[in-house]
Structure formats: structure tokens, C-alpha cells
Amino acid sequence: MALFSSLTPVFIALLCVVVVFILKRFQKKESESDTSPNCTVKSRPWVDEDLKDDTEINTKEEDGDWAESEEDVPHVSYTTTRYPADVMLQRSQEFYALLNQRRSVRFISPEPVPREVIDNVIRTAGTSPSGAHTEPWTFVVVADAEMKHKIREIVEEEEEINYRQRMGDKWVGDLQRLRTNWIKEYLDIAPYLILIFKQTYGIHASGKKKTHYYNEISVSIACGILLAALQNVGLVTVTSTPLNCGPQLRLLLRRPANEKLLMLLPVGYPASDATVPQLTRKSLDDIMVCV
Amino acid sequence: MALFSSLTPVFIALLCVVVVFILKRFQKKESESDTSPNCTVKSRPWVDEDLKDDTEINTKEEDGDWAESEEDVPHVSYTTTRYPADVMLQRSQEFYALLNQRRSVRFISPEPVPREVIDNVIRTAGTSPSGAHTEPWTFVVVADAEMKHKIREIVEEEEEINYRQRMGDKWVGDLQRLRTNWIKEYLDIAPYLILIFKQTYGIHASGKKKTHYYNEISVSIACGILLAALQNVGLVTVTSTPLNCGPQLRLLLRRPANEKLLMLLPVGYPASDATVPQLTRKSLDDIMVCV
């Protein structure tokens, strides 16, 4: 009893330490589950792994002018075509009229599209500016029917999960109506799928990772130029960002770990019976402020 | 002494709890300072406030097709101009040749640019697709000389901080040479500055915040289309992303709290003695993969 009595302080101390650790661990678990709403769904290790490897913490990015790394490159003189004011105005109106006809089209014709045209629109996208001239983009052009179908299966499976989650139990009896939302026939039908990957980092000669600052913004700008190039030749697409499918599609297409899927564009002529939602665009006054 | 002896277990227990808390807190502080490399510099509350209000947690974003919210909008039939294959090919080559002449140009002429041309290039950027058709962009066009100068002061001050931090002590004696890196004369000289803000959220009629999914990607795509529209009329710009200046520039331009600066583009004709770094672009084989 004397022995037990002399050990009491030690027992109590240990007990307190254990209790505090358990409490801390509990708090941590709770906050983890707050930030990952999908964790109650089936395990999808490829998604988690990919999301963990995110080198794009905005607050760490460098500031300013994108070409600072070009400091030591020799300069050459630059000129560009100078149009008279009336020609400039006419060109600006015509380009606006062309781009204003662009719509996201989900009904794509299976007719073949000249391959060289696809090459040229991708060349055009590749003229985009990028942070420190890293050109952090890979355009994967899929024409193979079997590969297109595999892509469709992955995208539809993820879309179904998303819809079911979002709808919850109250819609469980009405899934047939919603089914149209995750069926992406155009992924089989479009003659080309263009999957645009952002290269989140590069590899130095030393084997060290080199962060690509602003890679997502750079690749998105390139996508804007790609959309303009497609519209210019009379082809249509629909902009989609299959976030959770990215890791699976990356593995399917054997892209390296530094590449993350940013966008998936089915490309072709519009189907003869194509329709689009009757939407309007904001007016110039709603998007422009003059100072 | 008997009293002290009987209290010993309580003292030890309290001591242990205090030690564990201190250790935990210390660990937390350490990890916080890891993620904010700038925290030792002078306090900049507007930056911190703005960075805190970041509604763009990628993992929370919705998946897939950008127009799901359009489900209940009536559809109308859609057609687009159909060009013969040889015309398509020619148009794709010409557009590539036009865009391939684009370069980031820092030497901009002060000559005035027709205002209607600027209106049209911004109209064109506004045709960009956006997540759930939110059109989450505001283009602030600054022509006022005094305002341009205030913008320059803010940008240069931040750039100087960035350069001094990056260079560290060893360059302290050689700042004069580096000074050219944070001097942005073009911010005074260019006839127009276009500041592009992303609207990170909207406000429902109920006053509740409505997250704009993919707002940064959407606005970056619009910037890509804007760059193409500028190139099409013979104007030049340089893509810059003044991250830390965003909050100050937002206040200067009286933009609401839901808008964050994404890009700042000085726009004009190139100066007659303009130069650009002698850079090459990746070849098609380096950016395209065919499956």
C-alpha cells in the first residue's frame, strides 16, 4: 500500500498526458473530416494521392511580371502589324462577332475533322504566355475509339457519384430523370477529345523539383486561345473540368505525376440537330468599369 | 510537509498538462511560419485580410460539365459556319501565324488608341465560357493619368519588396543594377491599363454568398481570349499577376470585397524601339501527345 501510495503521482501524471493527447487527436480528426466532405464515400486512393500532391499554394507564388527569369536573355527588336484606326475597329468588330457565336455545344457530329486543323489549333494554343516562359501544358489528343470509351466510362462513373451525393436520399426514386446529367455520349461520338494537362512542376537537371508558378492560370489562358482557334475554323466543344477523374485519366493516358488534368474538350462539328440553352451574356456595362 | 506531500501528485499532473500544451502550441507555430514566408516582413493587413478570404478551395469544387445549372433553361437549335476542309486548314494556319507573332511587350508607345477598339476587345473577352455561366469577371479600364501613376506606385513598391527579399543581403550593395526589375514605366506610359478582377463569389437575393466555382479558371480563359483579341488589332501587352498588390489596387479602384485582382495588362501600340527577349517556343511534338 505504501508502494502504491508513492506511485500515485506518477500514475496521475501519465493519465493526464494520455487524456490530453487523446483530446488533441480527436480534435484533429474532426477538423480533417470537415475539409474532406467525400471521405464517407467509397475509398478512392488515386484521388486522394493526387490531391495531396498539390504544389499550388497561392500564397507561395511569386509576384509580378511573368518574364523575370528572362533577365539575362538577349533582346531583339519587335514590331507588329500597324493597322489604320478604321481597320482596327473593323477587325475588332469582326473578331467579336466571330467569338460571340461560340457556345458550349454538347451535341457533336461524328464526322471526321481534318487532322492538320487540330494540329494547328494546338500550335496556336501553344503561343500563350506562361509564368517565366515555362509553357507548362500538355495537350493529349484522343482519336482512338476504344480509348475514348474508356475515358467516357471513368467520367460517367465519377459524374454519377457526384450527382447521387448532391441529390441525397430525396431524389433516390427519381434517378432516371437525372440520368441524362451524367451520361456524356459526346465522349464516344466526338472525333477528337483534347485533354489538357497542367504541368505543376518541372524537373531540374539535378533531379530537383522546379515549381511552375501560375501553371493553372497559364494553362487556362492557353485554353482560352484554343477555344478562339476552334471557333475560328467552325468547330465546337464544351468546356469541362473533370476534377475527380483527373488522376484516373492521367493513369489511363500514362501521363507523368507532375501533370494534372485541367480540362477535357470534346471537339468536332456541331450535330445537325444540335441545341444549346437559351442564355444571354452580360452587357458591356455589366463587365467593364472605366476610370 | 504532510500537506505538501499529499499535493505532489496534483502539481506533477498540472505540470505535465502545461508541458504538453506548450509543446503542441510550439509545433503549431512552427508549421504556421513554414507556410507564410513573408511574415517577418512589415505588416500588410490588407494582404492578409484578402488572402484569408479565399473561397477557392479546389477540393470543394464541383465536378464536371460547366453548365449543369442550365438544366431547366429551354434549348434552341444551334448552327455555326461550316467551312470546306481547305478553307478550315487555311484559316487555322492564318490564325496560328497571327497569334504566333504575339509576344509580351514591356515597351509600349504613349500614342492614343481608339476607345471603341478597347470596348470591342473587352466585349470579345466577355464571350468566354464560365463555370455555371456565372461570367465572374470585371474589366477595369484605366485611362486617367493620375490613377495610372497611383497604380504604378503600388506595383513598384511591392515589386521592390519582392526583389529585396529574394536577393537577400548579398545583393544589398548592388540594388542599383536590379532597380530596372521593379521599375514599371509602362504603367504610366501605356494609354490603357486593363485590370482584370475575378469575382470569387456572388450575392444571392437573400444576401447569402454564392460561391463561383472555377472563377479563376474562367477568368483566365477570358484573359486568353482578350490576348487573342488584342493581337488581332495590332495592340500589345504584357501579362502580369501582381498578387500582393491586389488588395491595395482593389481599394484604390473601389472594387467590392468579392473581387480579387487576377491580372494587370498595360495596353497600347508597341514603342518604335520596342525589344523582346530572344525566346523560342516549344515545338508541337513537345506539347502534343496523340492517342
Q: At A226, is the pLDDT very low, low, confident or very high (cuts 50, 70, 90)?
A: very high
Mutation target among A127, A162, A183, A244 for the B interface, most CBs of B within 10 A: A127
- Which pLDDT score is estimated for B151? 97
CB contact under 8 A, A234 and B124: no
Per-residue pLDDT tens over the stretch A89-119: 999 999 999 999 999 999 999 999 999 999 9
pLDDT, one tens digit for every residue, chain B (291 residues): 455 555 566 666 676 666 666 666 655 444 444 333 333 344 444 443 444 333 333 334 455 666 545 556 789 999 999 999 999 999 999 999 999 999 999 999 999 999 999 999 999 999 999 988 899 999 999 999 999 999 999 999 988 887 777 666 555 455 455 455 678 999 999 999 999 999 999 888 888 888 888 999 999 999 999 999 999 999 999 999 886 899 999 999 999 999 999 999 999 999 999 999 999 999 999 999 999
CB A267 within 8 A of CB A111: no
Least confident of A43-52, A190-199, A210-219, A243-252: A43-52
CB contact under 8 A, A64 and B158: yes
Give the count of domains, chain B.
1
- Which pLDDT score is estimated for A43? 43
Cα separation, A39 vs A35, in Å, equals: 9
CB contact under 8 A, A102 and B242: no
Residue B265 makes CB contacts below 8 A (sequence gap 6+) with B193, B194, B195, B196, B223, B226, B237, B238, B239, B240
- Which pLDDT score is estimated for A15? 65
- Which pLDDT score is estimated for B119? 98
Nearest CA in chain B to A13: B13
Q: Between chain A and chain B, how many beta carbons pairs sit less than 8 Å apart?
A: 409
**CATH code where residue B272 lies:** 3.40.109.10
Residue A218 to chain B, least CA–CA distance (Å): 8
Q: Which residue has the cell 457519384?
A: A161
Q: Collect all residues of chain B within an 8 Å Cβ-Cβ radius of residue A129.
A: 102, 104, 227, 239
- Which pLDDT score is estimated for B21? 67
Cell of B92: 487555322
Mutation target among A28, A72, A220 for the B interface, most CBs of B within 10 A: A220
Of B75, B221, B239, the CB nearest to A129: B239
What is the share, in percent, of chain A residues with pLDDT greater than 70?
69
- Which pLDDT score is estimated for A80? 92
Mutation target among A12, A23, A65 for the B interface, most CBs of B within 10 A: A65
- Which pLDDT score is estimated for A17? 66
Q: Which amino acid is at A100?
A: N
> Higher pLDDT residue, A184 or A2?
A184
Q: What length does chain A have? A: 291
Cα Rg of chain A (Å, integer): 26
Domain for residue A25, yes or no?
no
Read off the pLDDT of each residue in A33-60 and give the average, rounded to a whole number. Answer: 39
Nearest 5°: CA angle at B144, between B141 and B146?
A: 130
Q: At A248, is the pLDDT very low, low, confident or very high (cuts 50, 70, 90)?
A: very high
Coil, helix or strand at residue B236:
strand
Cell of A40: 464517407
Residue B80 makes CB contacts below 8 A (sequence gap 6+) with A101, A234, A236, A270
How do strand B137-142 and strand A288-290 relate by DSSP bridges? parallel
Q: Is the pLDDT of residue A51 over 50?
A: no
Domain for residue A78, yes or no?
no
Residue A84 to chain B, least CA–CA distance (Å): 10
Of A225, A279, A288, the CB nearest to B73: A279
Backbone angles phi, psi at A279, to 5 degrees: -115, 155
Burial A248-270 (b: 16+ CB within 10 A, else e): bbbebbebeebbbbbbbbbbbbb
- Which pLDDT score is estimated for B250? 96
- Which pLDDT score is estimated for B80? 92
Q: Is the pLDDT of residue A160 over 90?
A: no
Cα separation, B46 vs B255, in Å, equals: 14
Per-residue pLDDT tens over the stretch A168-189: 655 545 545 545 567 899 999 9
CB contact under 8 A, A83 and B127: no
Domain for residue B215, yes or no?
yes
Least confident of A33-37, A84-88, A126-130, B167-171: A33-37
Residue B253 to chain A, least CA–CA distance (Å): 8
Cell of B52: 484569408
- Which pLDDT score is estimated for B70? 54
Residue B8 to chain A, least CA–CA distance (Å): 7
Cα separation, A163 vs A36, in Å, equals: 17
> Higher pLDDT residue, A71 or B216?
B216
CB B239 within 8 A of CB B255: no
Q: Is the pLDDT of residue A259 over 50?
A: yes
What is the full DSSP assignment across chain A? Answer: -HHHHHHHHHHHHHHHHHHHHHHHHHHHHHHHHHH-GGGGS---HHHHHHHHS----GGGSPPEETTGGGTTSPEEE-------HHHHHHHHHHHHHHHHT--B---B------HHHHHHHHHHHTTS--GGG---EEEEEE--HHHHHHHHHHHHHHHHHHHHHHH-GGGGGGHHHHGGGT--THHHHSSEEEEEEEE-EEE-TTS-EEE-TTHHHHHHHHHHHHHHHHHHTT-BB--EE-TTTHHHHHHHTT--TTEEEEEEEEEBPBPTT-EEE------HHHHEEE-
Cell of B89: 486548314
Domain for residue B33, yes or no?
no
- Which pLDDT score is estimated for B99? 98
Nearest CA in chain B to A118: B92
Q: Is the pLDDT of residue A147 over 90?
A: yes
Domain for residue B190, yes or no?
yes
- Which pLDDT score is estimated for B251? 96
Domain for residue B40, yes or no?
no
CB contact under 8 A, A63 and B244: yes
Cα separation, A82 vs B113, in Å, equals: 12
Give whole-number Cα distances, A16 to A21, A176, B24, B28, in Å.
9, 56, 15, 21
Residue B224 to chain A, least CA–CA distance (Å): 4
Cα separation, A72 vs B278, in Å, equals: 10
CB contact under 8 A, B281 and A121: no
Give whole-number Cα distances, B174 to B169, B178, B283, in Å.
10, 7, 38
Nearest CA in chain B to A124: B96
Q: Which residue has the cell 471537339?
A: A267
Domain for residue B159, yes or no?
yes
- Nearest Cα to A79, choosing from B72, B101, B204? B101
Residue B211 to chain A, least CA–CA distance (Å): 16
- Which pLDDT score is estimated for A41? 39
Domain for residue B97, yes or no?
yes
Nearest 5°: CA angle at A160, between A159 and A164?
A: 120
CB B192 within 8 A of CB B266: yes
Nearest CA in chain A to B6: A9
How do strand A75-77 and strand A192-199 relate by DSSP bridges? unpaired
CB contact under 8 A, A126 and B287: yes
Q: Is the pLDDT of residue A267 over 50?
A: yes
Q: Collect all residues of chain B within an 8 Å Cβ-Cβ radius of residue A145.
A: none
Residue B145 to chain A, least CA–CA distance (Å): 10
CB A63 within 8 A of CB B263: no
Q: Which amino acid is at B279?
A: L
Contacts of B145-152 with C-beta under 8 Å, sequence gap 24+, read B145/B188, B147/A291, B147/B252, B147/B253, B148/B187, B148/B188, B148/B190, B148/B193, B149/B187, B149/B188, B150/B252, B151/B187, B151/B193, B151/B195, B151/B249, B151/B252, B151/B264, B152/B184, B152/B187, B152/B188
Q: How many CB atoms lie within 10 A of CB B85?
A: 13
- Which pLDDT score is estimated for A127? 98
Q: Which domain holds residue A223?
A: 104-272
- Which pLDDT score is estimated for B167? 61
- Which pLDDT score is estimated for A9? 64
Q: Collect all residues of chain A within an 8 Å Cβ-Cβ radius of residue B109.
A: none
Cα separation, B229 vs B95, in Å, equals: 11
Q: Collect all residues of chain A within an 8 Å Cβ-Cβ radius of residue B181.
A: 68, 71
- Which pLDDT score is estimated for B161? 82
